[in-house]
Structure 1
């Protein structure tokens, strides 16, 4: 008797699940403004990337060293290694690309891309392989020399007190003179976010 009751209860629960809905999926979406700030979680997000890139580009472009570059020759900058010292998985290459784009949009710098250098080196090898017209083939030795190398470090501090959680990020960037090794510029961007823990349920 107990077994029959259990089977009936399981069957009823199964039918109820079918009636009220099965597995859910995202089937409808809308475009959103990528500049709109929304904090859906306490993790590092695309808004943080944008804030850091904008801060670094504006700070560097307006610094006394680069505020009035020579129109005849723009300083050549390479955005190099950006270190992730947080406990999160953060796409530092994407951050570097955003900083590079923001610098290019200021119109005050000429940029060299680190990944493109590797791709160009491979292209040199192909053009020297005999498949390309020797009179048109490009060879190493003609690329420009980088004047400045940008490096950086992203760190974080997380504090949880009761139902409150504070997340603090600090991005420090430095621009080194490739010839002398001197740091020509440095700045930092701080981001502080507060979250409140709430009960989630039906």
Structure 2
């Protein structure tokens, strides 16, 4: 009797697991510019919106005209640390890439490789020095130095009660002269999201 009962339970579990495993998964392609807030957390729309607005603000300030008048060249910018101090996981790399794209596409400034990228480039240059032909190898000591470093942070404040939550994001960026450590621009962007219908999450 016990053996029969065990066999029935095992058969039932097998059918149940098989049914769960055979459920169809629906995939729908959507536009990359389409706004979709599923969880209420930081997403690609926030990254693009913030980078676009902050770069527009940065390039409209007096420091840029002053630099061009003094040097007769457009500025070279490097991204330093942009710290995620928020409650969420924020892909800072994607955010930095969005900022770089906006600045480069503006034609008003250029970016130079960060410390991690420079290491790879220098390794390649060293390899060329040993293996590439004389006319094609790139010489050491010809790197373009940055004029300014961008640093900043992403912060959040959460206010929640029951199944209602407000998440407040504050993104602060600043541009610092590498010549004399002067801060030539400070930008700030704020986003507030109201999330309802779920248990509070921190």
Q: Residue 66 of structure 1: which of 64, 67, 75 is its match?
A: 64
In the comparison of the two structures, how many residue pairs are matched? 196
Partner of 1:166, secondary structure, is strand
Partner of 2:150, secondary structure, is strand
Structure 1 runs of 4+ with >3 Å offset: 3-19, 24-28, 67-72
Kept in 1: contact 2:112–2:145 (CA 8 A):
no
The structure where helix makes up a greater share of residues is 2
RMSD: 2.8
TM-score scaled by length of structure 2: 0.83
Matches within 5 A, 1:20-39: 21-23=19-21, 27-39=25-37
- Taking a change above 3 Å as real, the CA distance of residues 6 and 195 of structure 1, as seen in their structure-2 partners, is farther
User: Match of 1:40?
Assistant: 38
Matches within 5 A, 1:19-168: 21-23=19-21, 27-66=25-64, 70=68, 73-114=73-114, 115-129=116-130, 131-168=131-168
TM-score scaled by length of structure 1: 0.83
How much does 1:23 deviate?
1.6
Rounded to whole Å, the distance in 2 between the matches of 1:174 and 1:26 is 48
- The gaps in structure 2 that reach 5 residues or longer are none
Partner of 1:123, secondary structure, is helix
* Structure 1 residues 1-40: Cα deviation after superposition (integer angstroms, max 9, x where no partner): 7x58955873785486379x33256744232122222111
